[in-house]
Amino acid sequence: MRRRLIQSTLAVVLVVIAVFGVSLVIVETRTITSSAQERVESEAARLASIVDSRILAEENVNSEVLRNPVSKDQYAVISVPGRTPIEIGSKPEGDVIQATQRGEEGETVTVQEPRSAVTREVGRTLLIIGLVALLAVVAAVLLAVRQANRLASPLTDLAETAERLGSGDPRPRHKRYGVPELDRVADVLDSSAERIGRMLTAERRLAADASHQLRTPLTALSMRLEEITLTDDPDTVKDEATIALTQVERLTDVVQRLLTNARDPRIGSAVTFDLDEVIQQQLAEWRPAYRSAGRAVVSSGKRHLHAVGTPGAVAQVLAALIENSLMHGGGTVALRTRVTGNQAVVEVTDEGPGVPADLGARIFERTISGRNSTGIGLAVARDLAEADGGRLELLQAAPPVFGLFLSRTPPSRKPDGPTVR
């Protein structure tokens, strides 16, 4: 591109120089020739006037008297009736410019000038025009190189930015070049970089959330399958298989919920459900793990509560809280249900040391963890709760009490359009 810009600019300048230069040469040549002809005619008329004045004054007319007015490049012949012609200067050879003037006393004055003098003057003029044209070409090349660099360098930067985007580096450069069209392209690339960055962040977040949320259910499912392989009792196999199928359904629901939140966290399928069923389901799934750790998980509080939300999402929130107590807490874990206003509350507490004071409310931020864990579970739990129209809060740091608040009133439906009869 840089070479094309320079070539096109140089071509335009050369065309302009050719058109105007040739015209200028023609005009200057004619002007110099006309000026030389007028100079010779003027010199002939002046000599004729001098000769007339001297004849009338009856003074002597000779070459010595007339030599000074004549230029050294000119040749003059004065013919006076009855006298010998007077010659001044050297007669030029070759082509000449000539003018003849007749005086009032009958004399004839002829002045000649070699055309080579005109040619020399035309040559000097052509040399000046050529030098000016050369300077114009040099200036045009310099300006073309400068302009080409000004346009090509931003395009190179934009190409590098696009290549960085394609290689997975979505950082916007926020660099502008002072050219509206190029700045517009830079704006579009920066906007695309920001969108790609958000998409990559969402994909990484989805992968991390899915890995974290599926880890425990898959472990529990593998334990169920191992128990099936180790028993020959058909009733036990049937019971364990039924529980495994239930866990598979929950896994499917977890995946679907994670995908839905990745697309749009506001999209949900909130329904009114029995909160006791979800709690008892979680207790049944987590008791084996707690027994293995020598601990217990129990429930208490108000029974037969109905809440509004997505059962699968609520189950995932409770699972995250129970797993958090298993990993970081101590003693018995209790799930207590109560009612406050128009909300059903599920509190999850244990007998451990609680949340460190330096964490506080930051416990729900991603990558924030009191121990060597991912720090994702509580963050995902809060996102799931908020997507269902509820909220998850740390009610007490020591001993730790987490509260899941769910609405008890179904969301009002928008009225349908007018009925046409």
Element of type H or E holding 102 = strand 96-102
The residues, ordered by sequence, that sit 6+ positions from 95 with a Cβ below 8 Å of its Cβ are 114, 115, 116
User: Which pLDDT value is given to residue 350?
Assistant: 93
DSSP state of 373: S
Confidence of residue 144 (pLDDT cuts 50, 70, 90): confident
| Dihedral over alpha carbons 212, 218, 223, 229 (to 10 degrees) | -160
Looking at per-residue pLDDT, the higher value among 65 and 200 belongs to 200
- State yes or no: pLDDT of 89 exceeds 60: yes
Q: Model-level pTM greater than 0.75? A: no
CA distances from 135 to 94, 132, 141, 350 (A): 36, 5, 10, 89
Q: Residue 216: its pLDDT value, please?
A: 65
Q: Which contiguous run of DSSP H or E holds residue 325?
A: helix 311-328
Reported as a single tens digit per residue, the pLDDT across 24-45 is 888 888 888 888 888 888 888 8
Confidence of residue 264 (pLDDT cuts 50, 70, 90): low
- Give just the sign of the alpha carbon dihedral 361, 366, 371, 373: positive
Question: Percent of the chain, pLDDT > 90?
Answer: 12
- Under DSSP, is residue 248 helix (H, G, I), strand (E, B) or coil? helix
Residue 270 has pLDDT above 90, yes or no: no
> Would you state the pLDDT for residue 260?
66
**Confidence grade of residue 67 (pLDDT, cut at 50, 70, 90):** low
Question: pLDDT-based confidence at 276, cuts 50/70/90?
Answer: very high
Contact 402, 328 (CB under 8 A): no
Question: Using CA atoms, how far apart are residues 164 and 402, in angstroms rounded to an integer?
Answer: 44
Q: Residue 165 and residue 171: Cα distance in Å, rounded?
A: 8
- Can you tell me whether residue 113 is helix, strand or coil? strand
Structure tokens, 238: 């049937």
**332 has pLDDT over 90:** yes
Q: Which residues contact 60 (CB under 8 A, 6 or more apart)?
A: 54
What pLDDT does 130 receive? Answer: 87
Q: For residue range 352-410, what is the model confidence (pLDDT) as tens digits?
A: 888 887 776 678 887 665 555 555 778 888 888 888 788 999 998 888 999 999 998 87
Helices (H), 57-179: 63-67, 115-166
Spatial CB neighbours of 318, under 8 Å, sequence gap ≥ 6? 278, 279, 282, 335, 346, 348, 404
In sequence order, the β-bridge partners of residue 396 are: 401
- pLDDT higher at 224 or 331: 331
pLDDT digits (tens, 9 = 90+) for 97-129: 888 888 777 788 888 888 887 888 888 888 888
240 phi, psi to nearest 5 deg: -65, -35
Distance CA 50, CA 229 (A): 142
- The neighbouring-strand residues paired with 76 are 88, 111
CATH number of 268-407: 3.30.565.10
Hunting for tokens 């049937």 — which residue is that? 238
Instruction: Kindly report the average pLDDT of the chain as a whole number.
Output: 80
Same fold, 2-138 and 268-407: no
| Residue closest to 178 by CA, chosen among 208, 154, 212, 145 | 154
Residue 78 has a CB neighbour count (10 Å cut-off) of 25
pLDDT, position 420: 40
Range name among 46-50, 115-119, 174-178, 220-224 with the lowest pLDDT average = 220-224
The tokens describing 111, both together, are: 């002045």
Mean pLDDT of the region 153-182: 78
pLDDT-derived band at 7, boundaries 50, 70, 90: confident
When the candidates are 3.30.210.10, 3.40.1640.10, 3.30.450.250, 3.30.70.1350, the CATH number that belongs to 2-138 is 3.30.450.250
pLDDT at 340 over 70: yes
Q: Where do the domains of the chain lie?
A: 2-138, 166-206, 268-407
